Amino acid sequence: MHKNKKISILSHVLVWLVLFSMPYLLSYGQEQEINRVIAHFWIPLVFYACIFYINYFVFIDRFLFEKKTIQFILINVVIIAFFIFLKEQIEVTFFEELMKKRDNTKGEGPPFKMFVYIQMLSYMAPLLFSIAIKSTKRWIKTEAERKEAINVKLKSELQHLHYQLQPHFFFNSLNNIYALVDISPDRAKSSIHSLSKLMRYMLYETSVESVLLSKEIDFMKKYIELMKLRISDKTKVNYNFPEEETGITIAPLLFISLIENAFKHGVSASKESEITIKMTIIEQTVLFTIENANFPKKTDDKSGSGIGLPNIEKRLELLYPNKSSFKTFIKDNHYIAQLEIETD
């Protein structure tokens, strides 16, 4: 804002510096006509400046922007007429010789009405210039406020989605651990310990706009190992993530809901199944694919809250507009989710 103010002041100074330099340039080598220069350039320029700044600082805000257009027009007509009259009186009082020359050539010049009309038009220029600059400045300010409001709304929505995901993740993980308590207390204890590490990451390292992809991969690996403690040998879990450090950053917790979804719908207590998770990186684009056997939840199954996939779609819409694609489909009784994100 401070920088914009400096630019605005500088632009005003440059404009009027050029305008007030013109009389000297136009009168170069014509010292005998200095009175003509003063009468026809300097005095009008002073009046132009008055019209410009009176409107810029007072009338445009008070009348034009307040929808009092008629008052605005009338006030400026009166001011312009007053300046034209004042200019004539100054010429009569201080530039008698110039007036005599003009009287001698009056028949050669344009009619009086045309003269007044031209004068009015010349005084309209600073008025219109003032309106243009003031309106542009107001538009820039309004646009900046609109963008700021959008930005605040965006951050608020993202924060809400982030906070929504944390209890969702925690709730599903506790359900999984609860199922282990009676079956295998030792594995349940190990799961609680692993969950505490995962929650530490979610609480303290994901409250930023982006994290290193390598950290997110490490988080997903730990979660997959945690989930594997619960499932039986009938389910095979294969995952493949990039091992090298790419330096790519990405919004946190975008993939975890897909992994949760795979373990929720891709595992059966009586049938063999397989979950395959794969991530590849092509230049700055992250490709994430997860495939699992399709065992739809029963209608009376209330585990989880069902917010995972809508949460992903909304966050992608806010964070990566036109830079991501997300699709899910069923093929050969296998549920497949594909997420592609173009990072900066």
Give the 3-state secondary structure of residue 325.
strand
The 3-state DSSP class for residue 106 equals: coil
For 253, the 3-state DSSP assignment is coil
Q: Return the pLDDT at 31.
A: 47
Give CA–CA dist 268/259, Å, rounded: 16
| DSSP helix/strand/coil, 280 | strand
Structural domain boundaries of the chain? 2-109, 154-342
Q: What is the DSSP-derived secondary structure letter of residue 190?
A: H
pLDDT of residue 174: 78
Closest CA to 288 of 246, 324, 329, 248: 324
Q: Of 147, 253, 172, 176, give the one whose Cα is nearest residue 208.
A: 253
Q: Is residue 206 scored above 90 in pLDDT?
A: no
Query: Quick one: pLDDT at residue 195?
Result: 82
pLDDT attached to residue 304 = 45
Which region holds residue 64: left if phi is over 0, alpha if psi is between -120 and 50, else beta?
A: alpha
Q: What is the pLDDT of residue 142?
A: 86
Asked if residue 185 has pLDDT above 60, the reply is: yes
pTM for the model: 0.57
pLDDT of residue 183: 73
What is the three-state SS of 17-85? HHHHHHHHHHCCCCHHHHHHHHHHHHHHHHHHHHHHHHHHHHHHHHHHCCCCHHHHHHHHHHHHHHHHH
CATH fold label, 154-342: Heat Shock Protein 90 (3.30.565)
The pLDDT, as a whole number, for residue 21 is 65
Residue pair 59/134 in contact (Cβ under 8 Å)? The answer is no
Specify the DSSP element, H or E, that contains 97: helix 96-104
| Residue-level pLDDT at 96 | 59
Mind listing the pLDDT tens digit for each residue in 89-110?
887 776 655 555 555 544 444 5
pLDDT band at 245 (very low <50, low <70, confident <90, very high): confident
The helix (H) or strand (E) run that includes residue 2 is helix 2-26
What's residue 132's pLDDT? 86
CB atoms near residue 146 (< 10 Å): 10
What is the rounded average pLDDT of the residues 226-233?
80
- Tokens, residue 203: 């609480």
Residue 137 pLDDT level (bands cut at 50, 70, 90):
confident
Backbone dihedral region for residue 252 (phi beyond 0: left; psi -120 to 50: alpha; all else: beta): beta
- The amino acid that residue 61 corresponds to is D
Instruction: Give yes or no for residue 169 having a pLDDT over 80.
Output: no
Each residue's pLDDT tens digit, 45-57 = 888 889 988 999 9
| Mean pLDDT of the 304-313 span | 69
Q: What is the pLDDT of residues 248-278, one digit of tens each?
A: 999 888 898 898 888 888 888 788 899 999 9
Percentage of the chain lying above the pLDDT 70 cut: 74
87 — pLDDT class (breaks 50, 70, 90) = confident
Mean pLDDT for the chain?
79
At residue 303, does pLDDT exceed 50? no
Distance CA 199, CA 201 (A): 5
- pLDDT band at residue 33 under the 50/70/90 scheme: low
Whole-angstrom distance, CA of residue 309 vs CA of residue 258: 7
Dihedral sign, CA of 107, 108, 114, 116?
negative
Q: What is the gyration radius of the CA atoms in the chain, in angstroms?
A: 37
For 257-279, the DSSP string reads HHHHHHHHHS--SSS-EEEEEEE
- Determine the average pLDDT of the residues in 305-314: 73
